[in-house]
Every structure is written in C-alpha cells, then in structure tokens.
Amino acid sequence: MLAEEYMCGNDLSELAREIMRCERCGLSQTRRNAVPGEGPEDARVMMVGEAPGAAEDLAGRPFVGRAGALLDRALDLAGLNRSEIFITNVVKCRPPGNRRPSSGEIRACMPYLREQIEIIRPSAICLLGNIPAKAILGVQGVTALRGRVFDDLYLITFHPAAVLRNMGRMELFVSDLAKLREMRSVNRVRQL
Ligand code: URA
C-alpha cells in the first residue's frame, strides 16, 4: 500500500487507532474505551448498531453485553457466523447512562462509519434499529420498515435490545438476518 493511502486512512486498523484517539465530541470525555468495531477487512456483511453500552465501553468491543448475546444467538439461528461479519455502531463512544446519541454526536461520528464502509465495501449492510436507519438512509419506523432492502445493499431490522424487550420479535429478527445470506453473495464492485 502506498504511504499516502495509509495516511489517508485507507486501512481499517489505522482508522481504528484514529477512532480510539478521537475527541470530535463530548463523549470522548466520559468514555473508557472507544469502540471502533470488529471483523474482517474483507467482510461481505456489515452490521451497524446505535452506540456502545456499558459492557462495550469496558471491553472496547461492540455487542458484547446482553444485546450482543441475543445478536449472537439470532445470527446462529439465521445460519450466519459472527466472525465473518464486521460489526460496528453509528456512534463509537458510549453516551452516558446509555441515552440516545444526540444529532451532533451522530454528525461528528458519521465520517468514521462512511470510511469503514468505503474500506470494506460489503455486499450487505444490516441496520439495527432506528438510529442507523435514520443516520444512513434518512428513514425511520423500524416496525414498518424491517425486512426491507434499500439500494440492494441496506437491510433494516430491529435493534437486538428491542428484541430483548419483546421476545415475540425474535422470529422476525432471525428471518430478517437470514436475508443477509443471499445478499452477501452479490458482487460488491459498486460505487457508494
Ligand atoms: N447496543 C448497540 O447499539 N451497540 C452495541 O455495541 C451494544 C449495544
């Protein structure tokens, strides 16, 4: 890789280091660890959540708490392997008390997500809940939109925490995730 490309951040681990040093918003003052995301650089599937919670803030890894355990179970039932997926969030640092990230925090953090998508160029991006659906596609209303695919690239489904609150949604959640199996085989040569 050219040194120039590297300095432009055209590399996932360099970008992760930048995120860990980030002070673009006030969340940098209260976080323990930034959570850039994890998974292979050549992942065909990406998953985007809202923001790290307490467990993620402590571990520096996404979806390792109760919502993460639910997500792992649902992925398993859908015939997907977490180790093949790049998992991240719209906002990379924990909002205190797990409040929703503000629009300013989302705006400050979005360039990181865009760059991750540019580097990985996945065939499918699963948006977990309203925050990523609004931040990326400008749409809202997961209950009506779940299971729908936008631009042959984005799949909207519930946030795992919403499934935890109402386990009656588990079956739909798993069937949404199963769509990613088909989507991942689409050619990823595309312009974003
Ligand atoms: N909820 C999220 O949106 N992201 C995580 O990483 C964990 C919980």
Q: Is there a domain that residue 165 lies in?
A: yes
Q: Is there a domain that residue 188 lies in?
A: no
* Ligand 1 in reach of 50 Cβ (< 6 A): yes
Alpha helices in 37-152 (DSSP H): 54-59, 66-77, 103-120, 130-132, 142-145
Q: b/e map of 50-79 (b: 16 or more CB within 10 Å)?
A: bbbbebbbebbbbbbbebbebbeebbeebe
* Ligand 1 in reach of 52 Cβ (< 6 A): yes
* Ligand 1 in reach of 163 Cβ (< 6 A): no
Distance 185 CA to ligand 1 centre (A): 26
Distance 2 CA to ligand 1 centre (A): 34
CATH value at residue 105: 3.40.470.10
How far lies 5's CA from each of 1, 38, 39, 150, 185, in Å?
A: 7, 21, 21, 30, 28
Q: Is there a domain that residue 137 lies in?
A: yes
Distance 88 CA to ligand 1 centre (A): 8
Task: State how many domains the chain has.
Answer: 1
Q: Is there a domain that residue 172 lies in?
A: yes
Q: Is there a domain that residue 63 lies in?
A: yes
Distance 189 CA to ligand 1 centre (A): 29
Ligand 1 binding pocket mutation candidate from 33, 47, 56 (most atoms within 8 A of CB): 56
Which residues form the domain of 178? 3-183
Q: Is there a domain that residue 190 lies in?
A: no
Per-residue pLDDT of the chain (192 residues; tens, 9 = 90+): 444 443 444 589 999 999 999 999 999 999 999 999 999 999 999 999 999 999 999 999 999 999 999 999 999 999 999 999 999 999 999 999 999 999 999 999 999 999 999 999 999 999 999 999 999 999 999 999 999 999 999 999 999 999 999 999 999 999 999 999 999 988 765 544
pTM assigned to the model: 0.92
Q: Is there a domain that residue 19 lies in?
A: yes
Q: Is there a domain that residue 12 lies in?
A: yes
